Amino acid sequence: MDYSSFLQMTEEFSLLAVMVILLVYDIFAGEKSHRYFQPVALILFAAHTLLTCIPREAFNIAGGMFQYVPMQTYVKTILNIGTLIVLLQAHKFLNDDSNYIKRGEFYFLTLSTLLGMYFMISSGNFLMFFIGLETASIPMATLVAFDKYNKKSAEAGAKYILSAVFASSISLFGISLIYGTTGTLYFNDIATLFTGTPLQLMAFVFFAVGLFFKISLVPFHLWTPDVYEGAQTNITSYLSVISKGAAVFVLFTLLVKVFGNIISDWQPILYGLAVVSITVANVFAIRQQNLKRFLAFSSISQAGYILLAIISGTALGMASLVYFVLVYMFSNLAAFGVLSVIEQKTGKVQMTDYNGLYQTNPKLSFVMMIALFSLAGIPPFAGFFSKFFIFSAAAQQGFYVLVFIALLNTIISLYYYLLVIKAMFLNANENPIEKVTSDFPAKISLVICTIGIMIVGIISTFYNQIAVFSFSM
């Protein structure tokens, strides 16, 4: 048997290479050369991002266990950029004395979750998929619990791992039933054999909730705010953007490629989930004082919006989905970036701490503001375009009422985003947060995000490029 075809998995291999190099570096490098660990790591990863960003011809290897389509390159690149930004933001946090020795772990764990997502995305078989899923989530638990001496962090870790395993076991049970009813684990075969018998529907639901958990849709979202609050900010941002992004893409692919036959069954499910997620999350978000929790809820409602793209199941929807993830990544990471910069300096995450931030930190508050506006879908920022396209994709399939409900929710979301902006710009504060100077990598990350938010919408190339390779059933 010829294994050379495996070499086609360039993204995975190059990432693996980066990981191994870093691992070796971390273990064997001396005290002096260790100083350069982070720069090296960042450069390596950036190189990896650049090298793997060119889409190739679609191919299957390992008998269809690993299926590549060009679209995946875009998704993986988006994830790479996101990870890069997160790593840049984490730079300072990792240079603290307490974490100095743990930097290697941090990178290794983060990148292994990324690798897991790669496999999840490219998988053509449930076994591969499940392995990917777990590879993506188990290291995540350790990351969440990264800060050993912090009660909150430990609690968050426990909550995450317990819920995650609970979810994945249910999901696994679902997969087993799918196997039982179809006799195969290959997506292509299942697609034809999956006819929608009651047991199969049951199996589908059991399986799907595992993904819903990852995307944290209501009512599978309850872990999200706690974990987001407890975990270290950069990890939270990673959690909220990267793993969620991967999961939504996979959800779309699976629903379209594997469960296309029962579209009439899963569309109502997504419909309901979208409505509930958006509304409940918004209503919760109104009250949040801790900004990390606040962003957690906002990300839940964003996930709800993403479903509007998935529900259409069209190529348009796929393109809009990926585009949305791209924009969402920039916006959310910008917000988290500001958050982490300020938290690392002052340890303040309460909304009231941000009162009058504009007086002392105009730049940071500006970035925060455009990030929030973009999340709220306000032009000329990218968020507006991504939202519009998603609504358009849904409307094209005739989901006017759903779009309408979603739009009414944008009012609520605008309200709470404005609360933060109000805090920063309007509210007076006699002793606001002192002038914060963010370190160089964080600066870069924020600049990248800002530029992204500014231009990704107005310049249509991004979307059109994505649209070229988008696919549907």
CA–CA gap between residue 245 and residue 83 (Å, rounded) = 11
Nearest CB to another protein, comparing residues 89 and 288: 288
Interacting stretch for another protein, rule CB under 8 A, among 95-103, 140-148, 428-436, 445-453?
140-148
Q: Residues in contact with another protein, total (CB under 8 A)?
A: 99
Minimum distance from residue 115 beta carbon to another protein (Å): 14
Q: Give ∠ CA 17-23-26 in degrees, rounded to 5.
A: 140
Q: Is 189 in the site for another protein (CB under 8 A)?
A: no
- Could you say which of 60, 62, 179, 348 contacts another protein (CB under 8 A)? 179
- Least distance from another protein to the Cβ atom of residue 152, Å: 6
Cβ-in-10-Å burial (0-12, 13-18, 19+) of 29 comes to middle
User: What CA–CA distance (Å, rounded) separates 113 from 111?
Assistant: 5
CB of 42 to another protein, least distance (A): 27
Stretch that binds another protein, among 31-39, 54-62, 110-118, 147-155 (CB under 8 A): 147-155
User: Which of residues 145, 258, 307, 372 is near another protein by CB under 8 A?
Assistant: 145
Query: Counting contacts by CB under 8 A, is residue 433 touching another protein?
Result: no
As a whole number of angstroms, the distance between CA 383 and CA 449 comes to: 12
Q: Do 50 and 84 touch, CB atoms closer than 8 A?
A: no
Dist. CA 418–CA 465, nearest whole Å: 33
**Kind of pairing, strands 59-61 and 66-68?**
antiparallel
Residue 466 CB, nearest approach to another protein (Å):
9
* Using rule CB under 8 A, residue 166 touches another protein: yes
Is 156 one of the binding residues for another protein (CB under 8 A)?
Answer: yes
Closer residue to another protein (CB): 30 or 63: 63
* C-beta of residue 377 within 8 angstroms of C-beta of residue 328: no
Taking alpha carbons only, the member of 416, 155, 427, 423 closest to residue 288 is 416
Copy the structure tokens of residue 431: 């002793």
Cis, peptide link before residue 268, omega less than 30° from 0: no
Find the binder of another protein among 148, 437, 440, 465 (CB under 8 A): 148
Judged by CB under 8 A, the stretch of 28-36, 69-77, 236-244, 413-421 that binds another protein is: 413-421
Task: Name the segment binding another protein (CB under 8 A); options: 14-22, 145-153, 240-248, 326-334.
Answer: 145-153
Residues from 341 through 400 that contact another protein (CB under 8 A): 373, 378-380, 384-385, 388-389, 391-392, 395-396, 398, 400
Site mask for another protein (CB under 8 A), range 216-235, x = bound:
---xx-xx-xx--xx-----
Q: Tell me which DSSP letter residue 423 carries.
A: I
Q: How far is the CB of 210 from another protein (least distance, A)?
A: 10
Q: CA quadruple 106, 107, 110, 115: dihedral positive or negative?
A: negative
Residue from 138, 211, 310, 433 in contact with another protein (CB under 8 A): 138
Please tell me whether residue 384 adopts helix, strand or coil conformation. Answer: helix
- Identify the residue among 98, 192, 460, 465 touching another protein (CB under 8 A): 460
In the stretch 390-409, what mask flags binding to another protein with x, by CB under 8 A?
-xx--xx-x-x--xx--xx-
Q: Which residues of 370-407 are buried (b: 16+ CB within 10 A; e: fewer)?
A: bbbbbbbbbeebbbbbbbebbbbbbeebebeebbebbe
Stretch that binds another protein, among 23-31, 94-102, 204-212, 305-313 (CB under 8 A): 204-212
H-type alpha helices, 52-125:
70-95, 103-122
Give dist(CA 272, CA 255) in Å, integer: 16
Distance CA 359, CA 341 (A): 17
Show contacts with another protein in window 307-326 (CB under 8 A).
Answer: 316, 319
